[in-house]
Each structure stands twice: as C-alpha cells, then as structure tokens.
Amino acid sequence: MVYAPRSTRHGALLVGTFAVLGLLTACGSSSHDVHSNPPLTSSGTAAPATGGAESAAPGTSAPGSASAGTGAAPSSVPQATASQGGGTTTTTAASSRCHTAQLRASVGRDDPGAGQENFPVVLTNTSGKACTLHGYPGAAFVSASGGQLGPNPKRESGSPVTVTLRPGQSAWAGLTFSNPGISGAKTATPAALLVTPPDERDSLKVSWTGGAVPVSGNSSSVFLSVLAPGTAP
C-alpha cells in the first residue's frame, strides 16, 4: 500500500469538489436556456385547399353541391314528322301530342268502289297551337241509346307516321267495309260514330249518315287505316 501525504490528499479533494460544482453549474445553465428560449411559432391560417370553395372526401359531394346525373332536366329530342303539305317538318317530342279536347272529328262522303264502302274519318286541330297524331284512331258505331253496334274496327296494315297539325289542319284515316248488300252480312244503322284519337281515352261523337253497316256474319269486318295528312285520299 502506497501512502500519500495529507497535503496531497487535501489538494485532490479540492480539485474533485470544483469539478463537481462546475458540472452542476453547466447543467443548470442548460436547463435554464430551454425554458427561456422556447421554439418560434407563426400565427395565421392555413392556405385553402384548391379545387373549389369546399373540399370533400373522395367519393362524396361537397355540402350544397349536386351529385352528377341528378336533377338534370332531360333534353328534348327533335324528330322528323310528315306535314299536311307533303314535306317534313321538325318538331319537339316533348308534350306535343294532340289531345281529344284539341280536336274535332267528322266523317267525309262515301267513295264506294269494287263492292267496298270507303269513308274518310277526319280529325281537325281546333286549338291555337300545333300538335301531332301518330298511328291509328279508334272507332265504334253506336245506337241512339249509346250501345255499341258490332265489334271494334280492325287495323289495316300500314306504316304509321307522325302527322303534325298546325291550327286548322287535318288528318284522316280510311274507314272501309264490304257493301252489306253484296256480302250478305247482318246490318244495323248507327246513330253515331265514336272516334278516339291515338293514345287518348276520351272520344269524339260524330253523327252517322252513311246508312246501314255490317255488324255480324259474313264479311262483316270494318277496317281503319293509319292517319295521313289532309281530309281525304
């Protein structure tokens, strides 16, 4: 064992004490700097998101916005139609069909031929705006009491066209049947003919002055043709 003098041990103790005090002072100074110098911050608002006033999560719509495809008004599709003048005219398909209240019905004179009776059934636009007719009218013979005489007329083969009627213009369909005197069919004499415009439920009543019509038996069928522009063939 090495023996150190007392003065030497005292000096070493003083050196160690100063070293400890120096370390404590450095630590205290560092802790004080952290609290006295906090990180700098900048006040203000974040920049707005681009692409619109409001942003939304993917797959959702922003509040107050309409999703694509909803609430859009359907577009009107023009269609070519046959006019009374023999040419074509373009009309808009939206709500242009002629309704019963816009029309007047009449029956033209008989144009017989080859054992057939042929009557033009005419629909005239009495309204103040143009409308369209397409296809076949409906018809039924009725008695004075309103009862139907015979079956409904059958449709002749044909290619329906859309007829545009301006105010005052007409369209007609041919009502034909075999002459009962030749065919031998059973007959009745109607008081009126009910005419129903295409796609309508309400009918127009026309006084019938064409005499007896077949209602049953041989060759008793009555036929209607498609509507065409005008009042007669």
Task: Give the rounded percent of residues in the chain with a pLDDT score beyond 90.
Answer: 58
Task: Give the rounded percent of residues in the chain with a pLDDT score beyond 70.
Answer: 59
pLDDT-derived band at 233, boundaries 50, 70, 90: confident
Burial class (CB in 10 A: 0-12, 13-18, 19+), 117: buried
Query: Taking 60 as the threshold, does the pLDDT of residue 72 lie above it?
Result: no
Question: Cα dist. 33→20, 25, 38, 61 in Å?
Answer: 20, 13, 9, 51
CB atoms within 10 A of CB 205: 13
pLDDT-derived band at 10, boundaries 50, 70, 90: very low
- Tell me: the pLDDT tens digits for 28-65? 444 444 444 443 333 332 333 333 333 333 333 333 33
pLDDT-derived band at 106, boundaries 50, 70, 90: very high
pLDDT of residue 76: 32
Query: Taking 60 as the threshold, does the pLDDT of residue 161 lie above it?
Result: yes
pLDDT-derived band at 214, boundaries 50, 70, 90: very high
Check if the beta carbon of residue 83 is closer than 8 Å to that of residue 164.
yes
Query: Taking 50 as the threshold, does the pLDDT of residue 188 lie above it?
Result: yes
Check if the beta carbon of residue 139 is closer than 8 Å to that of residue 195.
yes
pLDDT of residue 55: 31
Query: Taking 80 as the threshold, does the pLDDT of residue 118 lie above it?
Result: yes
Query: Taking 70 as the threshold, does the pLDDT of residue 78 lie above it?
Result: no
What whole-number distance in Å separates Cα of residue 154 and Cα of residue 204? 19
Query: Taking 80 as the threshold, does the pLDDT of residue 137 lie above it?
Result: yes
The mean-pLDDT minimum among 37-41, 72-76, 119-123, 184-188 falls in 72-76
Query: Taking 70 as the threshold, does the pLDDT of residue 203 lie above it?
Result: yes
pLDDT of residue 173: 98
The mean-pLDDT minimum among 58-72, 123-137, 152-166, 195-209 falls in 58-72
Domains of the chain and CATH, by start: 103-229 (2.60.40)
Query: Taking 50 as the threshold, does the pLDDT of residue 171 lie above it?
Result: yes
pLDDT of residue 151: 96
